[in-house]
A and B are shown apart, each in its own frame.
Chain A
Amino acid sequence: MKIKKSLSSRAKRGIWVIGTGGKDRDSSSLALLGMTDVFLKRSAQLVVLAVAVFTLLGAGDQSARFNDLGHKMMCVCGCNQILLECNHVGCAYSERMRAELATAVDRGDNDDLTLQGFVQKYGTTVMAAPTKTGFNRVAWITPYLVLGLGLVMVTVIVRAWRSRPLVLPDGSVAAVHGAELERFRNQARKDTEV
């Protein structure tokens, strides 16, 4: 990975987000306090500092991005393995694909662009998981939907079962004999069982 090209899209986005947020907050503060110059100066210093920090973070991010993207794709040789985990020496695809990925990351292509390029070249099966567009969204939504519905259903069931009246003794404690006593004993044994 080349350090020079390390100002990744992620880092760039980071700067933009922090910068914008800071600016909004600063302008409202200015209006209130009337300290325009000081805040502008401070904001500028903050932006410079943020640029420096995130540029350095970005430098370390290059290999992380390669690793991250490489784990979002499959090798298309038929081995059914994640691109960076395909361990076939001389595999007709994985070596080439990894080289293409490294080039795209070095070039500074953002994640979406890089993945899109691979999809166009190798087909949709190159993605290790369904995309979050179109019908593929269903793949992601359904498990959470089922979990949510299940939680609601169980909660409703528990509440319904709880609201059923309990058969409690009518205040006076009656003596229990014979089969009924044995039934209570069995129940107590089942319930405590230590």
Chain B
Amino acid sequence: MSQIGSFALLLALALCAYSFLAGILALVNKGPASARIGETARRAGIASFAIVFLAAVVLVVAAFQNDFSIAYIFHHSNRDLPAPYKFATLWSGQEGSLLFWALLLSAYGLVLRLRYKTDVRLFAYASVIIAAVQVFFLLLLNFAANPFGVMQGTLPAEGTGLNPLLQYPEMVIHPPMLYLGYVGFTVPFAFALAALIMRYPGEKWIQITRRWTMVTWGFLTCGVFLGAHWAYSVLGWGGYWGWDPVENASLMPWLTGTAFLHSVMMQEKRGMLKTWNMWLIFSTFMLSIFGTFLTRSGVVSSVHAFAQSSIGDWFVAFLAIIFATCLFFYVKNRSHLRTEHKLESLVSRESSFLFNNLLLLVACFTVLWGTLFPVLSEWVQGTKVTVGPPFFNRVNIPVALLLLLLTAVGPLLAWRRTSIDSLKRNFLWPAIGALALGILLVALGMKPWKDVSYFYSLMTIMLSALVAFTVISEFIRGGRVIGRHTGQNLFASMVQLAHRNTRRYGGYIVHFGVIVIMIGFAGSVFNQDKEQEMGFGDKMTIGAYTLVCQSYTQDDNPNYGSEWAVMNVFKGGKQIATLNPERRFYKASQQTSTMVANRSTPQQDLYVVYEGQNPETGRPIIKVHLNPLVMWVWVGVWIMIVGTVVALIPNAVQARVAAPARMRVEPVGAGD
């Protein structure tokens, strides 16, 4: 098995190297011979997918066959591991996850190479760039982190098992989503660099790139929040985001990708910010690679990083090469990106995008700065400091609030120029609504003067309400116009409205999802928790709930032994649920893990953790968290996904503008 896998990886490397070199040759030279070479390069790239896929299949089959002669399988699987997790073995460790990276990259490359007829030359350039990235990962897999390395000495009869924290259903889907996001940014990067190298005329490449970026961004969004949900459900500390370096690594490309999705509209609509957009997409790709480096190099300590290894140096070298290449071609062809930037008014969609980009990049910088400051501090002072949640929350929350404000105001601004009257007309009622909500919340007992966190929470809710009101008013206003012309009801008109300009209204839906998530975040200020030793019949009261310990039960299966509590939950004297927080002991890895019991409602989560037994008294310890509004976070993510899908749907009707024979230059209304 290992020989087939190793051979497949070598063959894939050879194919990608050929695709890269022959691709360059074909692009540099002209003539029919070059075209034929170019075609072979494209086909070699396609074939590389099949070969990398074969390698991945070999690894998965080895996991299912319990082939512990392969060191990777020995370290990440065991005989009694359930089938879905055996499949997930592919991305559960350093080497396997790099193979998964290479597989997804070759899959993206396959799609790109099959769709080459869209624009043969642009796609040929992009294919070469993707082949270069493939070569890097295959070099890594062949020479630094081979997943098919074999065990030395006597063959073990049993593996050491998969990390218990990874034995959770979401771990079967979270890494693929995250990797689809990370890896996917290679494609827009390849198109951007290709357009720069070939001095691509026109803006078609930006439309192709934007679409790819949106798909990738959607995957990354899913991946990031699936990770948050996994952390919430498995780690048992009651939260979903701990500003861990690995979490930060996934957030950074998401932030720059978000900035790109906004600023690219400036280029499409007004031909502005060409250089900026180019570097934004370069940065997003580099941050994806940087995130992979952070996770795997051991440069910063993290709860869920991969094992430390020497592959960090490979990533540093690769990052340096990428940066040098981008810089070289930018300097060489920067004249191609030259545009005349003109703004007609400060109160315009263009300036709102500029500020939006600034805030997103400052947020990204802050995350990067906080993640790397321990390294910098050790270098300067000789002592490593910790940069944890208090730092990130303090510096990022004001930026997030400003972004929320822009999310509310931005869509109300027209391209080119917005009159103050129109802004007032569109903004007045949403602002009054948000203010009224704030006053209501204060009247209901929210005290923003009590603590800065309460102030932030109130501001978040008010600004989220402002965004919600503006988004809803945009839908209603547009829906009414369509309804007047078609006679449809308001809902049908709004659906038609969204279908006519999916990108704009899909974007609004995404914004709506973001504010639902932000409200969920704001709820964390009111988190409560309580820890108590609980024997049979013992009670614990938290908030409106009373938990009564009914019993403790044990079970055993080949993979793990478990012990769980049976907790009856009462509210207002009435039993409303029975929760079973569980603690497992995994036999192969000899590690314990918690399985949280969570009663989730839109109002709050009752989150119960069985922490184990007090070593001194032998009594079980139960920790209960009462976390308000957490469900909003997950609902918000679904709304964002829906919005992204809507934005990807082609418009139903191409807008027609009846232009009079005599035209005057007039300020225009709001576009997307």
A→B interface (CB under 8 Å): 71-72, 74, 78-82, 85-87, 89-90, 123-131, 134-136, 139-140, 142-144, 146-147, 150-151, 153-154, 157-159, 161-162, 164, 166, 168-169, 173-176, 181, 184-185, 188-194
Is B223's beta carbon under 8 Å from chain A? Answer: no
19 pairs from A and B in contact (CB 8 Å cutoff): A71-B389, A80-B303, A85-B239, A87-B623, A89-B615, A89-B621, A90-B612, A129-B390, A130-B386, A139-B370, A143-B365, A147-B399, A151-B355, A154-B354, A161-B343, A173-B664, A188-B659, A192-B668, A194-B671
Quick check: B373 and A139 within 8 Å, CB to CB? yes
B→A interface (CB under 8 Å): 235-239, 242, 244, 268-269, 301-303, 340-346, 351, 354-355, 358, 361-362, 365-366, 369-370, 373, 377, 380-381, 383-391, 394-395, 399, 415-416, 478, 497, 500-501, 504, 594, 609, 611-615, 621, 623, 655-657, 659, 661-665, 668-669, 671-672
The one of A129, A169, A173, A192 that contacts B386, using a Cβ cutoff of 8 Å: A129
Quick check: A191 and B415 within 8 Å, CB to CB? yes
Quick check: B385 and A136 within 8 Å, CB to CB? yes
Quick check: A194 and B354 within 8 Å, CB to CB? no
The residues of A that contact B656 with a CB separation of less than 8 Å are 189
- Rounded to whole angstroms, the CA-CA distance of A125 and B659 in the bound complex is 67
Residue on A with the closest CB to B390? A129
Quick check: B390 and A128 within 8 Å, CB to CB? yes
Answer whether A193 and B655 are a contact pair too, CB < 8 Å, given A124-B384, A139-B391, A157-B354: yes
- Rounded to whole angstroms, the CA-CA distance of A162 and B354 in the bound complex is 13
Residue on A with the closest CB to B303? A80
- Rounded to whole angstroms, the CA-CA distance of A158 and B344 in the bound complex is 9
Residue on B with the closest CB to A78? B301
The residues of B that contact A124 with a CB separation of less than 8 Å are 383-386
Having A89-B611, A124-B383, A169-B664, one finds 15 other A-B pairs with CB under 8 Å, namely A71-B390, A74-B388, A81-B237, A82-B242, A85-B239, A124-B385, A124-B386, A127-B386, A128-B390, A143-B365, A157-B354, A174-B662, A181-B659, A193-B655, A194-B655
Quick check: B671 and A190 within 8 Å, CB to CB? yes
The residues of B that contact A126 with a CB separation of less than 8 Å are 386
The residues of A that contact B236 with a CB separation of less than 8 Å are 87
CB < 8 Å A-B pair total:
175
Quick check: A130 and B387 within 8 Å, CB to CB? yes
Quick check: A146 and B365 within 8 Å, CB to CB? yes
The residues of A that contact B301 with a CB separation of less than 8 Å are 78, 80
The one of B385, B390, B662 that contacts A173, using a Cβ cutoff of 8 Å: B662
Quick check: A150 and B358 within 8 Å, CB to CB? yes
Q: How far is the CB of A41 from chain B (nearest CB, A)?
A: 30
The residues of A that contact B386 with a CB separation of less than 8 Å are 74, 124-130
The one of A130, A166, A184 that contacts B344, using a Cβ cutoff of 8 Å: A166
Answer whether A82 and B388 are a contact pair too, CB < 8 Å, given A150-B361, A151-B358, A154-B355: yes
The residues of A that contact B373 with a CB separation of less than 8 Å are 130, 139
The one of B390, B612, B668 that contacts A188, using a Cβ cutoff of 8 Å: B668
The residues of B that contact A142 with a CB separation of less than 8 Å are 369
Answer whether A87 and B358 are a contact pair too, CB < 8 Å, given A130-B373, A130-B391, A190-B671: no
- Rounded to whole angstroms, the CA-CA distance of A123 and B381 in the bound complex is 13
- Rounded to whole angstroms, the CA-CA distance of A125 and B342 in the bound complex is 50
Answer whether A85 and B237 are a contact pair too, CB < 8 Å, given A135-B381, A143-B366, A151-B358: yes
- Rounded to whole angstroms, the CA-CA distance of A87 and B608 in the bound complex is 12
The residues of A that contact B611 with a CB separation of less than 8 Å are 87, 89
- Rounded to whole angstroms, the CA-CA distance of A17 and B386 in the bound complex is 33
Residue on A with the closest CB to B361? A150
- Rounded to whole angstroms, the CA-CA distance of A173 and B391 in the bound complex is 59
Quick check: B669 and A129 within 8 Å, CB to CB? no
Quick check: A194 and B478 within 8 Å, CB to CB? yes
The one of A80, A89, A157 that contacts B613, using a Cβ cutoff of 8 Å: A89
Answer whether A158 and B362 are a contact pair too, CB < 8 Å, given A127-B386, A128-B389, A136-B385: no
The one of A78, A85, A188 that contacts B657, using a Cβ cutoff of 8 Å: A188
Quick check: A125 and B612 within 8 Å, CB to CB? no
Quick check: A125 and B500 within 8 Å, CB to CB? no
- Rounded to whole angstroms, the CA-CA distance of A127 and B239 in the bound complex is 19
The residues of B that contact A193 with a CB separation of less than 8 Å are 501, 504, 655, 671-672
The residues of A that contact B355 with a CB separation of less than 8 Å are 151, 154
Answer whether A80 and B365 are a contact pair too, CB < 8 Å, given A87-B237, A175-B661: no
Answer whether A192 and B657 are a contact pair too, CB < 8 Å, given A124-B383, A135-B380: yes
The one of A159, A164, A185 that contacts B340, using a Cβ cutoff of 8 Å: A164
Quick check: A194 and B501 within 8 Å, CB to CB? yes
Quick check: A190 and B362 within 8 Å, CB to CB? no
Answer whether A169 and B665 are a contact pair too, CB < 8 Å, given A90-B615, A139-B387, A146-B362: yes
